[in-house]
Copies of this chain bind each other. A is one copy, B any other.
């Protein structure tokens, strides 16, 4: 939920002053809700800063992040809400340059939920936690009446510890830096939307749900200060992360469409569903901004990892008007603006 602050005018997206689905899609309306409504009331210095994980207080070497998972359906091609709830929070810490350590898990269960489904989800959580090397140390379970939830909602909050000497963030991004993405974009979003619509495609489309730890740890070990910024493109997708980066770093980001990895099956499915993969959630990918001379080394490290990855240098950081510019496969350029339009609710 934690967008980079901008000077955009704050206005709650209207219709009788009620929460709408668009407030949850991770785009502009989410940002307006948070800046106009949440920050003035429960804001702290940490909440006002960019990034999905925060370092609470200079006196600690801790990082902390939280995410609630409301994905529908609970089980989808390539994963389920349990694995997603662990990996999503692992990844927020991993891209902050922190080692994920201790997790809490809060469950809201709907009356009537088959225990078999709960068991499968918990099995996935346990497996994902073991793979990422985190421990669930605190948990809570609430049950609500039939119709007051939709099966299972899970909150995970993760605490991680800082890697020594690592400083990541938009403040370190410089013109000339290379923009790397770890692998194909949009897989998770398309898998969920296809699963929900009950559509199956010739090519199987599965979520890329996977942990970015220990991958980011290996990248930071290998390149140290050469890595300037990392972020996982979840709600709002690659385009949203690039837009937030451009605003926060006060620079221009140019990317080439032809270089952005994407599975043909996912592109085709997205097209049929009327969706743009550049705005769809990934759940196992990262955008990494790195000194351009070290970018090839980052690709090597990613390729040696065991995950849904197929990395590419997709563009670079430039001086110039703040924003994101896409060079299309036909050679034209177009701005890659913020997500606007139909919300995609409950993607994670």
> Which A positions have Cβ atoms within 8 angstroms of B?
1-2, 12, 17-25, 30, 33-34, 37-38, 41-44, 46-47, 53-54, 56-57, 62, 64-70, 72, 101-102, 104-116, 118-119, 122-123, 125-126, 129, 135-145, 147-150, 153, 155, 157, 159, 345-346
Residues of B within 8 A of A153 (CB): 108, 149, 153
Closest to A153 in B: B108
B33 pairs with A141, CB closer than 8 A: yes
B136 pairs with A30, CB closer than 8 A: no
B143 pairs with A67, CB closer than 8 A: no
A23 to B152, CA, bound (A): 14
- CB pairs A–B below 8 angstroms (8 shown): A18-B114, A19-B118, A21-B143, A37-B118, A64-B102, A67-B106, A148-B150, A149-B153
With A19-B113, A125-B41 already in contact, the answer to whether A145 and B345 are too (CB < 8 A) is yes
A136 pairs with B345, CB closer than 8 A: no
A143 to B123, CA, bound (A): 26
Select which of B41, B148, B345 is within 8 A of A122 by beta carbon.
B41
With A67-B106, A104-B157 already in contact, the answer to whether A37 and B115 are too (CB < 8 A) is yes
A122 to B43, CA, bound (A): 10
Residues of B within 8 A of A41 (CB): 119, 122-123, 125-126
B66 pairs with A105, CB closer than 8 A: yes
Select which of B37, B112, B125, B149 is within 8 A of A18 by beta carbon.
B112
A139 pairs with B42, CB closer than 8 A: yes
CB distance from A331 to the nearest CB of B (A): 39
Shortest Cβ-Cβ A-B pairs, 7 listed: A24-B143, A66-B104, A157-B157, A155-B155, A41-B122, A46-B137, A56-B102
A34 to B136, CA, bound (A): 14
B142 pairs with A68, CB closer than 8 A: yes
Select which of B47, B119, B148, B149 is within 8 A of A136 by beta carbon.
B47
A157 to B139, CA, bound (A): 10
Residues of B within 8 A of A2 (CB): 138-140
A115 to B23, CA, bound (A): 11
Residues of B within 8 A of A136 (CB): 42-44, 47
Residues of B within 8 A of A137 (CB): 44, 46-47, 54, 56, 64
A88 to B21, CA, bound (A): 29
A126 to B38, CA, bound (A): 10
Residues of B within 8 A of A37 (CB): 115, 118-119, 122
A140 pairs with B56, CB closer than 8 A: no
CB distance from A85 to the nearest CB of B (A): 10
A54 to B109, CA, bound (A): 23
